Chain A
Amino acid sequence: MLRTERLCAGYAGGIVLHEVSLEVAAGTVQAVVGRNGAGKTTLVHAVAGLVRPSGGRIEIGGTQVAGRQPHRIARAGVGLVPQGRRVFSRLTVAEHLALAAAPWRAATPGGEGWTVARILELLPRLAVRLRHRGDQLSGGEQQMLAIARALLGQPRVLLLDEPCEGLAPELAARIRDLVGALARTGLTVLLVEQQLPHAIAVADRIAVLEYGRVVYDRPADEARADPGALAAMLSVAAVAEPPAPRPVPGLWAGSGQLTRPLSTGMSDDADRHP
């Protein structure tokens, strides 16, 4: 469903991703782990169109989308839950949901699709916060809202950039459960994580990014069988020498359908601390 082939991307200062190739099957969770600065967020942004690739391919369901503008990639079926949530601070929860409900996909034939009612059934905590603004929500509520916002765009591929960051352990576990449940509906998930335990808990496959290169990409079962090896590898990656920077060539510009009920427990006992 999601495939990157020799993907190169970066910013004005130089290339961050070096020929990253990943293949994520429909209905699976591909975790990408790595330390700060490894290129995880750049990878997510490149797939979402927020960073223009300088080389390589990005395919969504066989369609090449690399270089397209973010709104076109969103309409091609990519939803983004960004790092830091980035909910709209002055919009209420209800307004977020109304804005995110993708009118261009409302008439998509087949399947139920995500509706506001289904979202509120899945994440009932949001139902009691409908009149509150984004900046009045706790971190966990903001994360739920960011996920809800992405799902209402009827994505086939969901990009999650450190969704457990800054959350209490119990809530982080529930977010992980939700990610797993979403994948079981057929949604393809690319999960970027800095914390290895979060990735191991939910992923079908795990890749390690080291200085913008994929240095490990195996089924998660292997990591679960010997998590110490992967942790040691990440530790080794931390002290490895980074590759010499290269100039960036060219110019730089700045749905899965639910097939069975979800049960996530993401209810009204979410953390309440802004």
Chain B
Amino acid sequence: MAVDIPIDPYVVPALDGVAYGLLVFVAAAGLVLCFGVAGILNLAHGTLYAIGGYTAAALLDGGWPSLLLALAVGVIAATAAGALVAGLLTRVAARTHLTQALLTFGLALVGGSLLVRAFGPDDQPVRVPAALDGSVVVAGHRYAAYRLVFIVVAALLAGLLHLAVRRTRAGMLVRAAVDDAEMVAVLGVSPTWIRVGVLAAAGALAGAAGVLGAPIIGPGPDTADVVLLLSLVVVVLGGLGSMTGTLLAALAVGQIQTLGVALAPSAAPFLLFAAMAAVLAVRARGLAATRRTT
């Protein structure tokens, strides 16, 4: 017996899912690169996003210049923080993931405390540019203009990231290192610089996501934890070193968090992790099912 589910009420949650998924993709892509390329489990990754988010809260005043300024400052600050994490990891880079996790978890605690001390214990309001502060009509529904623009911008960022991985020398290094990091070193490329570069790039991506995504996942005491958790889910679902897998996983997470919750509100608390467990049970290496960066 066919079940007749009206589509119309779910247009907005589905769009929200795309926005949420793309935000999670930009935020999680750096974590995937860190793990896949440098073998680093960076539990401070959510804090890099939070740096961007708090920067947005501090600098956005409803104008376009402030958005550009916040983007520049947030990206630079998060990039520097990523490079700092890489520097602090130098001595434990060759050790187990548990050692790395302990160090970066400590850094996340310190970073979170510093941000709360600087900005206070409450969630911070974020002002989007006035021109995007309204709503537009999509398929007969009113939808936040900023989110619609964010979908376009995040898709562009995803495209740029794809091009960078596929077309640049740095991207070649990333793909080669995912495949065989030892052989990359034998070519004369310092593993330390790869690690610093990847963590700094991860910081830049997380910082950009933090600024642009602040109206969606806003800055607050729990922001770093939420973003880290979502990113880890994406890593598990998408597989290591696979940008295609990361994108698919992030979009799936977005839909589960919005459309899934709208369809099955009573399952909301565990829907995401149930989906993760189901994927792991069927495809243990993630949705992409191959260890590659594409």
Q: Are A88 and B183 in contact (CB under 8 A)?
A: yes
Which residues 169-192 of B sit at the A interface, judged by CB distance below 8 A?
A: 169, 172-173, 175-176, 178-180, 182-183, 185-191
CA–CA, A69 to B191, complex, Å? 9
Interface centre among A49, A80, A89, A254 (most CB of B within 10 A): A89
CA–CA, A36 to B169, complex, Å? 38
Q: Does B292 contact A (CB under 8 A)?
A: yes
Q: Which of B94, B180, B190 touches A253 (beta carbons < 8 Å)?
A: B94
Residues of B within 8 A of A89 (CB): 179, 292
Interface centre among B179, B183, B187, B191 (most CB of A within 10 A): B187
Closest-CB distance, A71 to chain B (whole angstroms): 5
CA–CA, A102 to B188, complex, Å? 8
B-facing mask of A136-167, CB < 8 A → 1, else 0? 00000000000001000100000000000000
Closest-CB distance, A101 to chain B (whole angstroms): 10
Q: Does A233 contact B (CB under 8 A)?
A: no
Given contacts A71-B190, A74-B188, A254-B94, contact A91 B183 (CB under 8 A): no
Which residues 246-294 of B sit at the A interface, judged by CB distance below 8 A?
A: 292-294
Closest-CB distance, A142 to chain B (whole angstroms): 13
CA–CA, A49 to B183, complex, Å? 11
Query: Chain A residue with minimal CB distance to B173?
Result: A99
Q: Are A104 and B179 in contact (CB under 8 A)?
A: no
Residues of B within 8 A of A102 (CB): 187-188
Query: Chain A residue with minimal CB distance to B194?
Result: A71
Q: Does A258 contact B (CB under 8 A)?
A: no
Query: Chain B residue with minimal CB distance to A152?
Result: B187
The total of interchain contacts (Cβ-Cβ below 8 angstroms) comes to 63
Q: Are A98 and B169 in contact (CB under 8 A)?
A: yes
Label chain B's interface by main secondary structure: helix
Given contacts A71-B191, A86-B180, A253-B94, contact A91 B175 (CB under 8 A): yes
Which residues 31-63 of A sit at the B interface, judged by CB distance below 8 A?
A: 48-50
Q: Are A80 and B186 in contact (CB under 8 A)?
A: yes
Count of chain A residues near B, Cβ 8 A? 25
CA–CA, A29 to B66, complex, Å? 65
Q: Are B186 and A48 in contact (CB under 8 A)?
A: yes
Closest-CB distance, A92 to chain B (whole angstroms): 9
Q: Which of B178, B185, B187 touches A99 (beta carbons < 8 Å)?
A: B187
CA–CA, A71 to B189, complex, Å? 5
A-facing mask of B177-216, CB < 8 A → 1, else 0? 0111011011111110000000000000000000000000
CA–CA, A99 to B94, complex, Å? 24
Q: Are A91 and B179 in contact (CB under 8 A)?
A: yes
Q: Are B186 and A99 in contact (CB under 8 A)?
A: no
Q: Are A88 and B176 in contact (CB under 8 A)?
A: yes
Residues of B within 8 A of A75 (CB): 188
B positions within 8 Å CB-CB of A:
94, 169, 172-173, 175-176, 178-180, 182-183, 185-191, 292-294
22 residue pairs of the A-B complex, CB under 8 angstroms, read: A48-B186, A49-B186, A69-B185, A69-B191, A71-B186, A71-B191, A74-B185, A80-B186, A86-B180, A86-B183, A88-B175, A88-B179, A88-B180, A95-B172, A98-B169, A98-B172, A100-B187, A102-B187, A104-B188, A149-B187, A153-B187, A153-B188
Further contacts, 4 of them, CB under 8 A, given A69-B190, A91-B179, A149-B187: A71-B185, A74-B185, A95-B175, A99-B172
Identify the 6 closest CB pairs spanning chains A and B, nearest first. Answer: A74-B188, A70-B185, A88-B179, A88-B176, A71-B185, A75-B188
A positions within 8 Å CB-CB of B:
48-50, 69-71, 74-75, 80, 82, 86, 88-91, 95, 98-100, 102, 104, 149, 153, 253-254
